[in-house]
Amino acid sequence: MLDPVSKEFVLSVRVYFEDTDAGGVVYHASYLKFFERARTEFLRLLGWNQGELLKNASCAFVVSDLSIQYKRPAKLDDILVIRTSLKELRRASFVFEQRAFRDDVLMTSAQVRVVCISPSTGRPLPIPEDMYKEIEQLTCAA
């Protein structure tokens, strides 16, 4: 769901046993999966299916760098709300700010740069023009 006021994409995820360590605390790498799902669903909401982009050899999106901060431990069966917003848009990449909340408590936050690449060569490509324009409208409206 896209929050019309904040322009953030909001996705709820439940913490399952597979997401935790032996103590029932969310394993640090599980947040990367939660954030990936939110970015994927964000693009899907805009009408862009990453599987179709790959199938058509249009483009693929890869994480080129990220910074993550762990604030508080989430635990088994928690419901986390992942809030995703666009912070920067360039011709071949964009930067997402992603935050995981339990109720109103910030658990984890990250900044993630995603680069558009050619599926066949792995080299950077410009984001497809129609997708770029749609994403640009969101960032300009924020």
- In 40-104, which ranges are E strands? 60-70, 79-89, 93-102
Instruction: Output the six-digit token pair for 136.
Output: 């640009």
Beta bridge partners of 63: 114
Instruction: Output the six-digit token pair for 134.
Output: 């749609």
CB-hemisphere CA count at 13 Å for 1? 8
Does the active-site annotation cover 103?
no
One of 3, 21, 65, 130 is an active-site residue; which one?
Answer: 21
Amino acid (1-letter code) at residue 100: A
| Residue positions annotated with a catalytic role | 21
